[in-house]
Structure 1
Amino acid sequence: MALTLAPLLRDARIDLGDAIVIRHAYVPLHEDTGSRGLNPNSTDAEILAYTRNQGVTGFPAAPPRLWVVFIKEGGGEARLWSVLENRGEVSNDGVRREFDLVETDMMADLHGRLVIQWSAPRRWWMNAAPASLNAVTGIADAEPIPFPGFDELILSHEDLQAVMREPRYASWRTALGAVKGVYLITDTRDGRQYVGKADGADTLRGRWAAYAANGHGGNRDLRGLDASSFRFSVLRVFDPATPEGVINTAESHYKRALDTRTHGLNAN
């Protein structure tokens, strides 16, 4: 049985009764106003501005809250651009209407990746219920995200789980797996901090994978805390050949410098 758009919309918690699906085509100019249309080089800001501006005729009088926007491709296909929230009409001159639209994070992991077959070639928008029956023809691999460097690395627990799981973060896992080091976990609810280390047989990747899996990484000081409020960063990295004693000394230094034994989460 072919995959359709329906389960992807449901997974994103998009109510089919409160959404429309739009397919933009590349059009040099609006026929009724002569204003600029879309082209293959249109920016996200230009696509958003284009979507905000609709005609008085040929569009729902009271469009729903969510607009799932695709861009037309060859062969009757369309690629997901974004999911927008409609916050209402802000102007209407009798010819064109402008809406207050904002981007949401719904289906964000599929932006630019999800391709469907558009089943109604003469229509550029459909209510979500019939549109949900459109067949999915492809989901492209996610674009790799470049590793920002250890000095720029600040991750929430949710971010850390994504780094350890998703293909687009492969270079991040490679970098973390190539070093040992001293790291910092901050509980953003109260500001308390925990200094830890990856040494011995462990790399930063191995150590942080444990935190991604259960939140506490086996540290008794962190058990019972809500890992969703944790923020992970790197204090210092070491070559894997660095003697364990050197890493221990660095860890002790940061515990003293940040006072994490008295006012933080380190018990020793």
Structure 2
Amino acid sequence: MTLTLDSILRSAGIDPTEAMVIRHAYVREHEDTGLVGIHADSTDAEILYYTGRQSAKQRVFPVAPPKVWVVFVREGGDRARLWSVVENRREISNDGAVRTFDLSVSDQLADLRNRLVIGWRSPRTWWINGTTAAKYPVMEIADAQPVPFPGFDRLILDYPQLQAVMRDHRYASWRTALASVMGIYLITDTRDGRQYVGKADGAESIRQRWNVYATNGHGGNVELRTLDPSTFRYSLLRVFDPATPESKINEAEEHYKRALDSRTWGLNRN
């Protein structure tokens, strides 16, 4: 059974009947509006700007375009690679020649940007309604590019990012780095600023400890069990080599609890 765009859209919560699908081509100038086109080196901001300016001719662009636009870029032949999903907030202006729309990039299908390739069956049509595009075949879902590890002292993750780091193959190098150290970490509840100082020592690495948080949200900590982890932010205060004596890690943990006053004003109970 051939995989189609329909299942991809629906998995992202996009109803094809309430979406339109666009395939941009690299051109110097838009043939309908005369506006500067896009090219292989165009930035995301330039592509978004280009997408938001459409012809005022009714035969060229829908009179009432839907809220969701799924935007592809022509890759040659009948292939089209996903650029992004954008939300049409409203029409800003219409001077009789060009209509301008207020567009914002959506998180929908964000993990498939530049990876999803579909077969475009209407070579002379650059936009189609979602129900038609839903029948188009998925030709490729490329491997995602690995994300470089930023370094221990630059690591700040929200809860969805933590879960991605622990599960997504793009973050394999991050997991390797976190598995190589023990240390002291900080969890901040961004709703009220309260902080929790924790440690990973003995046979437990930072990766192992954080993987528990990614799984259940609280890591077994009593004070965190009653809170929603969706607003937690994770960072490292200090890392140690696995050969470091446990007593030294305990001293460091105690120092940070006192320095941040996390027992009195934060989420530490001991």
Once the two structures are TM-superposed, the CA of residue 198 in structure 1 deviates from its matched residue by: 0.6
Alignment of 1:193-212 (within 5 A): 193-212=195-214
Once the two structures are TM-superposed, the CA of residue 153 in structure 1 deviates from its matched residue by: 1.2
TM-score normalised per structure 2: 0.95
Q: Name the count of aligned residue pairs.
A: 268
Instruction: Give the letter for the 2:7 counterpart.
Output: P
Once the two structures are TM-superposed, the CA of residue 32 in structure 1 deviates from its matched residue by: 4.5
**Partner of 2:145: helix, strand, or coil?**
coil
Structure 2 residue runs of 5 or longer lacking an equivalent are: none
Once the two structures are TM-superposed, the CA of residue 82 in structure 1 deviates from its matched residue by: 0.8
Counterpart in 1 of 2:194?
A: 192
Once the two structures are TM-superposed, the CA of residue 211 in structure 1 deviates from its matched residue by: 0.6
Q: Residues 32 and 212 from structure 1, CA distance in 2 versus in 1: closer, same or farther, beyond 3 angstroms? A: closer
Q: Residues 91 and 222 from structure 1, CA distance in 2 versus in 1: closer, same or farther, beyond 3 angstroms? A: closer
Task: Find 1:214's aligned residue among 213, 216, 219.
Answer: 216
Check the 8 A contact 2:33/2:55 in 1, yes or no: no
> What's the RMSD between the two structures over aligned residues?
1.4
Q: What do the CA deviations read for 1:137-184 (whole angstroms, capped 9, x no partner)?
A: 111111111111111111112111111010111111111111110011
Once the two structures are TM-superposed, the CA of residue 130 in structure 1 deviates from its matched residue by: 0.9
Check the 8 A contact 2:184/2:238 in 1, yes or no: yes
Instruction: Give the letter for the 1:55 counterpart.
Output: S
Cα distance in 2 for residues equivalent to 1:265 and 1:88:
44
Cα distance in 2 for residues equivalent to 1:226 and 1:91:
42
Counterpart in 1 of 2:143?
A: 141
Cα distance in 2 for residues equivalent to 1:229 and 1:96:
42
**Partner of 1:207: helix, strand, or coil?**
helix
Check the 8 A contact 2:4/2:138 in 1, yes or no: yes
Once the two structures are TM-superposed, the CA of residue 232 in structure 1 deviates from its matched residue by: 0.9
Counterpart in 1 of 2:55?
A: 55
| 2:108 counterpart of 1:81 | no
In the TM superposition, structure 1's runs of 4+ consecutive aligned residues that sit over 6 Å from their partners are none
Counterpart in 1 of 2:107?
A: 105
Once the two structures are TM-superposed, the CA of residue 33 in structure 1 deviates from its matched residue by: 4.9
Q: Residues 257 and 23 from structure 1, CA distance in 2 versus in 1: closer, same or farther, beyond 3 angstroms? A: same
Cα distance in 2 for residues equivalent to 1:64 and 1:221:
45
Counterpart in 1 of 2:176?
A: 174
Counterpart in 2 of 1:31?
A: 31
Q: How many percent of aligned residue pairs carry the same amino acid?
A: 65
Cα distance in 1 for residues equivalent to 2:231 and 2:159:
7
Structure 1 residue runs of 5 or longer lacking an equivalent are: none
Counterpart in 1 of 2:225?
A: 223
